[in-house]
Structure 1
Amino acid sequence: MFWASYFLAALAVILAWPVPVLLSRAKWPARSPFTAMVLWQSIALAGGLSMIGAMLTWGLEPIGDNLAQGLSGLWNILLQRQSVEALGLVHVFAISAAVLLTVHLVFTLLLTYYRIVSGRRRHRDMLNLLSSPSLNTPATLVIPHPSPVAYCLPGGAHSVTVLSDGLMDILSEKELSGVLTHERAHLSQHHHLLLWAFAAWRAALPWLPTSQLAQRSVNELIEMLADDEALKKVDRPTLIRAVAIVGSASGAGADSAAALPGSSVPAVAGGGREDETGMAARLSRLLTPQPPLQRWASILIQAAAVLLLAVPTVLLFAPGLIHA
């Protein structure tokens, strides 16, 4: 377990800095956003597991040859009031840090969920006052707003797509169909859950630059996934025009901003806030489409993502795999 803690620490450092930076700068994710999304999730989970695991395994090393033995020894110390001298002050500090980091991550995840749900509830209440149901499209609300606005509001069976009357006046029937398909893809593919997880990661570790990189990349990827779904419904020029019109609403992409009069509810929709760089990348991808990754490359990357998550799991939980 002594060596396992060092391997986990090294993996945590690699996943905290060079790997996310390289992935955020790579060009291939735009060719296979689903594969890139799987890899980002693996990096986040494996990085958190490695950080906590490195401190925990190193802290428990004096009282066990593997994690199970170490936790059993810690249980005896805590509940049977055995002496902590076998651990030592430094190892007690490492165990405490692992526990505190775990509690911090879980608490931030729950707090972020509460804030998002509360924001959606307030937003829905305002929609009930200011919007009216679409006469032609089910599960769609129309708000009186001159800017071209489109976004979705998750809520299980009560999920809705919100359009402004200004947008409906501008778009053609085909363009509107592309926008609706895009927004419904956010809901059907549960993109709001991904945004919740990565928003919590950034909130929990704001000092980690790569948490911001990850959130921005995931925001872009979910927009690309929704665009790909829309392309099954409308042709590419039609979608490009629709995206450009919706993106012009705020200059930073109104696709997912909750642009109700007198309200500001960030990141409550199915897609995340999209900055000018993200909108430019999205339009560039639509204007100059690249061939998708070959199947073998996509499978290889997804297999690497699974392996990346398996390594810290095995180091933590496989009894007696690595001895001091």
Structure 2
Amino acid sequence: MLAVAIALAVFAFALAWPVPVVLATAAWPRRMPGAALVLWQAIALAGGLSMIGSLLVFGLIPFGDDLPHAAGAFLADLVAGRLPADANFFEMFALAGAVLLGAHLLLNLVRTSWRAERQRRHHVQLLRLLSDPLPEQPGTRVIDHATPVAYCLPGAPRAVTVLSAGLLELLPDEELAAVVAHERAHVTQHHHVLQVAFSAWRSALPWFPIATRAHEAVGLLIELLADDQARRTVSERNLSRAVARVALAANGTGDGASSPVGPFSPVPATPAEWADARVARLTDVASTTAPALRLSVLACAVALVLVPTLMLLGPAVR
């Protein structure tokens, strides 16, 4: 049990620092945003499982030789109001830490989901008061604001697409259609669910730098995925032009635009940097995706989740 606890701690450390840093600075995720998103989710899940599992296994050492049997023995002793004679303070402290950490992460996810849903409903109510429907596009509303803005709000029975008056004045019809296709792709692919999950991770561990890095990396990948979905129905030229126009208008001048994002530059953290990355990808005709690399990434994602699971349950299965 002690060896398993140490191995899980080492694995959790690797997933908390070096692995995400390498992934966030790699070039290939922008070519395969879907596979990269799966890998980020696997890192978050395996990292949390390893952290909690390491504390749990260490704390349950006095109760048995494998996690399931030790957990059963601990619950029996807890009901009976007794502890093994060789149980010490550090093991009980680790056990309490595992329970508190797991509860903290779960409750934070519930709280973040509830808050996001409450904000969405409040936002929809405000839109009904402060916006007007766009007759030629059902499910679309226009807010009277000069800044070019476009976004989609998920909901039932259907999502609401929101455009600003500034955006309608800025973009021609073809580019406007590309922007709308991009925003609606976020809803059809349920990107808000991913955003809530990684926002909850960052909120639960604000002192954890990698949680912020993961949140930013996932945010960019979500934008790239929406671009991929949109360019199935609109041209890449119109979409890239629309992204560039909106970014320049938001900056107020072209002089303030960010420089293109290089393969090993930091993860984009501002809308202007995200726009640079999106335009570069949309206009890169030489960009190709290697099927072997995609399969390797997906295999790594599965392995990341299986490793801590087998370390926790493997001894009991054997």
TM-score (norm 1): 0.89
Question: What SS is found at the alignment partner of 1:95?
Answer: helix
1:55 alignment counterpart: 55
AA in 1 matched with 2:152:
C
- Identify which of 282, 291, 305 aligns with 2:287: 291
Number of equivalent positions: 302
AA in 2 matched with 1:292:
T
Q: Is 1:234 paired with 2:230?
A: no
Q: Is 1:188 paired with 2:193?
A: no
- Identify which of 276, 279, 283 aligns with 1:280: 276
Question: What SS is found at the alignment partner of 1:318?
Answer: helix
AA in 1 matched with 2:41:
Q
CA distance in 1, matches of 2:156, 2:245: 28
Question: Where does structure 1 differ by over 6 angstroms across 4 or more consecutive aligned residues?
Answer: none
1:219 alignment counterpart: 219
2:306 alignment counterpart: 310
Higher mean C-alpha displacement, 75-84 vs 32-41: 75-84
Q: Deviations over 1:25-54 (max 9, x none)?
A: 000011100010010000000000000000
CA distance in 1, matches of 2:307, 2:102: 19
How far does residue 84 in structure 1 lie from its aligned partner after superposition?
A: 4.3
1:124 alignment counterpart: 124
Gaps of 5+ in 1: 253-272
1:159 alignment counterpart: 159
Answer whether contact 2:144 2:165 (CA < 8 A) is retained: yes
For the structure 1 residues 251 and 156, does the alpha-carbon distance in structure 2 shift closer, same or farther, using more than 3 Å as the test? farther
Cα-Cα RMSD: 1.7
Higher mean C-alpha displacement, 4-13 vs 140-149: 140-149
Question: What SS is found at the alignment partner of 2:141?
Answer: strand
CA distance in 2, matches of 1:308, 1:231: 32
CA distance in 2, matches of 1:165, 1:228: 26
Question: What SS is found at the alignment partner of 2:232?
Answer: coil
CA distance in 1, matches of 2:312, 2:68: 9
How far does residue 290 in structure 1 lie from its aligned partner after superposition?
A: 4.5
CA distance in 2, matches of 1:200, 1:210: 13
CA distance in 2, matches of 1:95, 1:251: 51
Answer whether contact 1:62 1:86 (CA < 8 A) is retained: yes
AA in 1 matched with 2:300:
A
1:83 alignment counterpart: 83
Question: What SS is found at the alignment partner of 1:87?
Answer: coil
Question: What SS is found at the alignment partner of 2:157?
Answer: helix
Answer whether contact 1:143 1:163 (CA < 8 A) is retained: yes
Question: What SS is found at the alignment partner of 1:135?
Answer: coil
How far does residue 213 in structure 1 lie from its aligned partner after superposition?
A: 0.6
Percent identical: 45
Gaps of 5+ in 2: 253-268
AA in 2 matched with 1:283:
V
2:297 alignment counterpart: 301
Answer whether contact 1:150 1:246 (CA < 8 A) is retained: no
Answer whether contact 1:66 1:319 (CA < 8 A) is retained: yes
TM-score (norm 2): 0.90
